[in-house]
Amino acid sequence: MSQPPTPIPQTLPPIPPPLPPPQPQLQPPALLPANREYRKGNWTIQETLTLITAKKLDDERRSKPSIPSTSKPGELRWKWVENYCWAHGCFRSQNQCNDKWDNLLRDYKKVREYQSRSNASDSSPSYWTMDRQQRKFYNLPSNMSPDVFEALNEVVQRRYHNIPQSLPPSQQQHQHQQQEQQQQLSVAVAASPPPETTRESLPEPVMDLPAVSEGSESSATESSDKLDTGTKRRKVRNIGASIKHSASILAQTIRNCEEKKDKRHQEMMEIEQRRLQLEEARNEVNREGMANLAMAVTKLSTAIQSLISDQT
């Protein structure tokens, strides 16, 4: 007798482990596709305020100690600003944002310095009471609005207060820290403390080092911004000189073309005059030839008639 087939055990596929929750990543807001159509032309007040807000948030983002400070070029920093502006209705590129920010800082400094002088002297009118012609007369920006000025003032003051004012420059600060460490070590050796006391007294200068790094980092950021601004100004001056040189060459070329055109027109007039003179001379020769031919025919007919009359 045949035995019934033994049942094959069914093995269930292993249950995959649950996926870990996605880790939050710091990234620029509202990343959009790279093929963007940027707006050109003059900046509106709303676009300017959006740019100022984006720059303020970018400064706060880069100044947080929790975020590791990686040395990124200025192009990537302004890409973050571009993404923020694009997400808030300001469709400008990172180069436009960078140039506009430099222009805003330059105009802000002019207005702030003039206002400080105007407040100290009663003879100078306030910037906000002047019209466009008066602002141009004092070599001031003609379209700075109070909202933009207040927003810029807030950003500049926030950046100024974030820098530790009591600290000297970075090199002097490092030297000062080294001197303090040497003094503490000399005092510790002279007093001959136990090893535990020495180990407890040493970490104090080490705890002050992060403040030094933060101050040096902020000063390095300010110096890099100033260096970028100076480099951009040199580029603008070089571009202006090149444009001026090209404009002079273009004007000289146009002048030479006009002179050659006048000379060619004069030559064409002389050639036309010569052609008319030749045409008139040829017509005169033709008239004289026809007159001589008619005279010869008349003489010939007269001679024939006289010959016929003589024969008869």
The domain total for the chain is 1
192 contact partners, CB below 8 Å, separation of at least 6: none
- Answer whether residue 224 is part of any domain: no
Domain range for residue 86? Answer: 32-63+71-162
Match 């269930």 to its residue by tokens: 12
- Answer whether residue 128 is part of any domain: yes
Q: Kindly report, residue by residue over 80-135, the tens digit of the pLDDT.
A: 999 999 999 999 999 999 999 999 999 999 999 999 988 888 788 899 999 999 99
* Band (235; pLDDT cuts 50, 70, 90): confident
pTM of the complete model: 0.44
Match 């094959």 to its residue by tokens: 8
What are the structure tokens assigned to 156, written together?
């500049």
- Answer whether residue 275 is part of any domain: no
Please tell me the predicted confidence (pLDDT) of residue 224: 59
- Answer whether residue 210 is part of any domain: no
- Answer whether residue 50 is part of any domain: yes
User: Given a cut of 70, is residue 214 above it in pLDDT?
Assistant: no
For the ranges 61-65, 206-210, 213-217, the one whose mean pLDDT is highest: 61-65
290 contact partners, CB below 8 Å, separation of at least 6: none
Q: What is the 3-state secondary structure (H, E, C) of 214-247?
A: HHHHHHHHHHHHHHHHHHHHHHHHHHHHHHHHHH
Distances (CA, A) of 212 to 59, 61, 175, 207, 241: 19, 20, 11, 10, 43
Q: Kindly report, residue by residue over 2-49, the tens digit of the pLDDT.
A: 555 555 444 555 555 555 554 444 444 444 446 788 999 999 999 999
- Answer whether residue 255 is part of any domain: no
- Answer whether residue 119 is part of any domain: yes
Which amino acid, one-letter code, is at 113?
E
Q: Kindly report, residue by residue over 276-294, the tens digit of the pLDDT.
A: 999 999 999 999 999 999 9
Which amino acid, one-letter code, is at 215?
G
Q: Is-contact 162 136, C-beta < 8 A?
A: no
